[in-house]
Amino acid sequence: MFNKSLLPLVAIFLIVGALILVFRNFLEQHGCDWQVLSAGNLFIYFVTVVSMHLLTKGLNAERTQVFLRNAYGGIMVKLFACAGAAFIYILVSGKNLNKPALFACMGLYLVYTFVELSVVIKQSNAKKNV
């Protein structure tokens, strides 16, 4: 069930999670809610795993249409799930909205996306060389 291509994502998740726990007092002193950041890290990790599964599945497809459907589907699932989660958090938190944690989660989204695409591009290049 575990795929070697997920190792970079797992490493990023564990490193970011450990950094959040180690620096939680620093984060709180600077107005960033470490619990929101931890929840965002977990959510973005799971959504990225789903997106990467779709991208990898599309990469192994025989037809270009299947690849494009899975690639765009993975991107859309990740984008809309994260945007929806942010929207729900903004609505639910009201005046207790923690902007620094929300912006940090946006940064995590970019980091996970960069790692995801790097892994998929390496898989694509390895497939071409076979």
Q: How far apart (Å, rounded) are the C-alpha atoms in residues 45 and 47?
A: 6
Question: Which residues, including other chains, have CB under 8 Å from residue 42's CB and lie 6 or more apart?
Answer: 13, 17
Q: How far apart (Å, rounded) are the C-alpha atoms in residues 48 and 114?
A: 11
Q: What is the pLDDT of residue 64?
A: 84
Report residue 110 as tokens.
């970019």
Q: What is the pLDDT of residue 129?
A: 67
Confidence check: pLDDT of 1 > 90: no
Q: What is the pLDDT of residues 42-92, one digit of tens each?
A: 999 999 999 988 888 888 878 888 888 888 898 899 999 999 999 999 999
Q: How far apart (Å, rounded) are the C-alpha atoms in residues 10 and 46?
A: 10
Q: How far apart (Å, rounded) are the C-alpha atoms in residues 84 and 105?
A: 13
